[in-house]
Each structure stands twice: as structure tokens, then as C-alpha cells.
Amino acid sequence: MSILALEFPPVSHLFDWPTIWFDGTPLAVNKTVLIYLAATAATVVLFGLAGRPRESLVPVGVQHVAESGVNFIENSVVMQTIGPDGKKFMPFLTSMFFFILFSNITEVVPFIQFPANSRMAIPITLALVVWVIYNVVGVKSQGPFGYLKNSLFPPGVPKVLYIIVTPIELVSTFVVRPFSLAIRLWANMVAGHLLLVTFAILSATLWEFFYVPAALPFVMLILMTAFEILVSFLQAFIFTILTAVYIGGSMHPEH
């Protein structure tokens, strides 16, 4: 569509990528799939390299990065939300954090510049995995009836209010949670990509007509790029911490 003589591509052009390999099969590969494969490989390589046995005890290089990532997840996610007995979820949470971070950060990597999580498929899959995990954890640690009772009838509410509270809890715990988790990640990435595209197109168009004013949207573009680095880190963090909160909530019910 055209706004004030400025050609803005339709939204679908910014997120639909043509198939590169295996066209027509269910295993068709396009840019999004390639970014996800690279993010998976980066996560595996990071922890594979960091986990090698070595002589010195002082962590250097890759090992240092991986260990500070693990420490970060342990101190500011697991210990704050689940507690010491949540440490068995550390491998899951850490690898999920780094996978989401690596597939988000391609938003600002030059020549890739596409956040893979702005397609809904992987966010909703991750959210459904999280849904299965916290329900299984709840059933295992409280028993099926105890889990249902604690999540549908939260203690400390006057008996009459259960008429209203129970349907709300039913919908929000078992239906809305995975979708809000997926939509939060996906919509943040879509918004960031649209923002960067808007300022990039603006500066390119202005550069064609007159050179000097193009500096304004270009400065904005650089600032937004810095902001998007923050956002892609923050969204990976928020996805992980909400997962930990849900797991913690079904492990230790409120009293």
C-alpha cells in the first residue's frame, strides 16, 4: 500500500518467505526454518563446547558465556520462582532460553534481519510443550484431584465467589495460558520487525529524494535496533520466567 507517496510493502510480504529446498513436501525449508535450525545448532554447539572436559577450572571463552547463562537462569529465574527443588528443570529452562534468544536475535543480525519467532509455529509449539509440562508436574506432585482442586478452587476465597472464580480459573489456567505465552513472544517480534522495516523504508525513501533529512529516521533506526536487542533478550527471559512460574505454581500450591 502507498502512504504519502511512500511504498510500504503489504504485511504478508515481510513475513512470508519463498521455499528454498524440498518445495511441496511437508519438510519444505525456507528462511524461517533455516534460522530455527541455526538457533538449534548454536544452542547445541554453545553447551557442547562448554561441557567438554578440560584441565583448568577457571572458565574462559565459550565456557564462561555458557556458565554465566546457567547462573543467570538459576539465580534470577529458578530460585526466584520455583525454589531449590526446581533445579531439575534447569536444563529445560536454560536450553529453551538460549533457543528463543538465538532465534530472536536474528532480528538485528545484518543480512538476516528476520526474527524467526515472528511466525507463530514454534512459539505455539513451545507454549504447548510448557502446557503439558506444568500439567504433568501438577498431577505428579499433588495428585490429579488435588491439582484440579487447588487450581480451580484457590484457597482463601469466600465460598459464594467460587461461582465466579472457578470458571475464570478454568479458562485462564487451562486455555488462555499457552496462547498468551505464545502470543506475547510472537506479537513482540512482529511489532519489532514492523518497526525496524518502517524506519528502514523511511530512510531509504528519503535518501532517494533529498539526502540530509534521511539522517532523522536513520538515527531512529539505530536507536530502535538497540531497543530490539533489549526486547529480544527480554522476551526470551519473560517466556522462561513465566514457564518457571507456571511450573512452580503447580509444584507448590498456594496455601
Partner 1 sequence: MLSLLAQTAPGEFLDGLKAIGAGLGYGLAAVGPGVGIGIVVGNAISSMARQPESAGMVRTTMFLGIAFTEALALIGFVVFILLLP
Residues that bind partner 1 (CB under 8 A): 11, 75-77, 80-81, 180, 183-184, 187-188, 190-191, 234, 237-238, 241-242, 245
**Separation in Å, CA 136 to CA 10, 47, 85, 141:** 42, 27, 16, 9
Task: Report the residue number, 47 or 199, with the smaller CB distance to partner 1.
Answer: 199
Q: Residues with Cβ < 8 Å from 228, sequence gap 6 or more? A: 107, 108, 192, 195, 196
Q: Least distance from C-beta 241 to partner 1, angstroms?
A: 6
Q: Least distance from C-beta 20 to partner 1, angstroms?
A: 26
Task: Report the residue number, 162 or 233, with the smaller CB distance to partner 1.
Answer: 233
Task: Report the residue number, 72 or 218, with the smaller CB distance to partner 1.
Answer: 72
Chain-centre distance for alpha carbon 136: 22
Q: Least distance from C-beta 101 to partner 1, angstroms?
A: 15
Q: Least distance from C-beta 134 to partner 1, angstroms?
A: 15
Q: Which long-range contacts (CB under 8 A, 24 or more apart) does 3-6 make?
A: 6/201, 6/202, 6/205
Cell 543480525 -> residue: 109
Q: Least distance from C-beta 183 to partner 1, angstroms?
A: 6
What gap in Å lies between CA 127 and CA 55, rounded to an integer?
Answer: 40
What gap in Å lies between CA 40 and CA 82, rounded to an integer?
Answer: 26
Task: Report the residue number, 72 or 207, with the smaller CB distance to partner 1.
Answer: 72
Cell 531497543 -> residue: 227
Task: Report the residue number, 149 or 177, with the smaller CB distance to partner 1.
Answer: 177
